[in-house]
Homo-oligomer: A and B are copies of this chain.
């Protein structure tokens, strides 16, 4: 109960600031519309202000930004949640939506961060600028913890303030002239950052896709692994496994095919392994477990979903020295230049936390947190299974992908929010291939997950 109230008050303050100027007339409702009853996508094309203003600059708006069709998905969901709260001020809202961690960070990890913070007030413990690529000890620890078996070295690890930031830095690295492929559905940052960098054409409303992106359909029919024979060659392939949102982890055989596909095409694979520690079968935890991957792949990862670092901000990107552009220039060397020019390293306090995560005690504590969320996942899966819904994912990921055949995702999202006060995520927010699905996140306090599932049973009994 206390947790729910806390969640409520957090939601109010964060959602107000999440949407710029939400309480200002000029911005309100201009960029967002309510979901159409028949369409799976929110029509939210931003339009120029129609107010009379005394002065405008003569700088043209970046046409790539103008291509974007909606607010970034998760702030949009936060906005709707906020609107729902205004409408139902007494409702006990439960968020199983944006994939935000809820469980405290293990004390062995926060103590290390507090210690580093305190040391910064001492002459001997103070440190200023760190290496842009991350502290040597943390890079070494990430390499030995996650990549010892595949032979990646510490200087192939770039510590970041999170995978989302690094995805955009990778897009800046690649530039405007590359073509890309993404799983459909997939984490929206891949597509949106590609649009922003000008790699895409306009949004095509009929198919709900951007031009010049290859959408690799992942459905129950193909086991959420794309039919590569129908995927055109692109320069870059974004691939997330275990996948957000479908929760599906690709098998060794599938990833071997994927690496071979990239190699055949001369593509660079950007592999997002942010949920790898949720894997409990023999699916690879890193793309570099696949022979030859070092010549084609980059791996992006994060402490967010392992240690609850969503707010602390810490991740990493692994770029093997063997990964080369067509002229033989090492990709890592250009990424190093991007990191040095556009970033100044992750917070040293967060890095101290990362190092503690990878200590024996810290690692065990992280796995306990992961285990807690995995139990939540099972409860959610059992609930929808008992209601006769087909559910996917869950096993190797903290996301349950629930199928509502023939229905609009946003419609189901709204129905669930309206009738149960539970926030989920509409599958179509992850791409047209997500239409008809809703993603239910297992990140939540146990009592909230149980209560949400009770309400689901009430609604869909």
Cα separation A293 to B135 with both chains bound (whole Å):
40
- Copies of the chain in the assembly: 2
Distance from A443 Cβ to chain B, minimum over Cβ atoms (Å): 8
Pick from A105, A164, A308, A347 the residue with the most CB of B within 10 Å: A347
The stretch of A170-178, A281-289, A404-412 that contacts the partner chain = A170-178
Interface string of A316-351 (1 = CB under 8 A from B): 000001111111111011101110111111111110
Interface string of A148-174 (1 = CB under 8 A from B): 000000110000011011011000111
- The interface residues of chain B lying within 8 Å CB-to-CB of A20 are 133, 155, 332-333, 336
In this assembly, does A357 line the interface, its C-beta being within 8 Å of a C-beta of chain B?
A: no
- The interface residues of chain B lying within 8 Å CB-to-CB of A272 are none
- A: contact size bracket: 35 or more
In this assembly, does A204 line the interface, its C-beta being within 8 Å of a C-beta of chain B?
A: no
Pick from A14, A19, A117, A353 the residue with the most CB of B within 10 Å: A117
In this assembly, does A123 line the interface, its C-beta being within 8 Å of a C-beta of chain B?
A: yes
Pick from A24, A164, A189 the residue with the most CB of B within 10 Å: A164
- Are A165 and B343 within 8 A (Cβ)? yes
In this assembly, does A72 line the interface, its C-beta being within 8 Å of a C-beta of chain B?
A: yes
In this assembly, does A38 line the interface, its C-beta being within 8 Å of a C-beta of chain B?
A: no
What DSSP secondary structure best describes chain A's contact surface? loop
Cα separation A18 to B340 with both chains bound (whole Å):
9
- Are B26 and A349 within 8 A (Cβ)? no
Q: For residues 106 through 157 of chain A, which have their beta carbon under 8 Å from a beta carbon of chain B?
A: 106-107, 109-111, 113-115, 117-118, 120-136, 139, 154-155
- Are A340 and B71 within 8 A (Cβ)? yes
Would you list 22 pairs from A and B whose C-beta atoms are within 8 A, ordered by A residue? Answer: A17-B155, A20-B332, A48-B329, A54-B295, A57-B295, A60-B326, A60-B327, A61-B329, A62-B173, A65-B337, A104-B120, A104-B126, A105-B121, A114-B117, A117-B353, A120-B312, A128-B311, A164-B341, A168-B341, A172-B172, A193-B342, A196-B342
With A49-B329, A63-B175 already in contact, 10 other A-B pairs whose C-beta atoms are closer than 8 Å: A17-B135, A59-B235, A64-B175, A74-B340, A75-B340, A104-B123, A114-B114, A193-B341, A196-B337, A347-B350
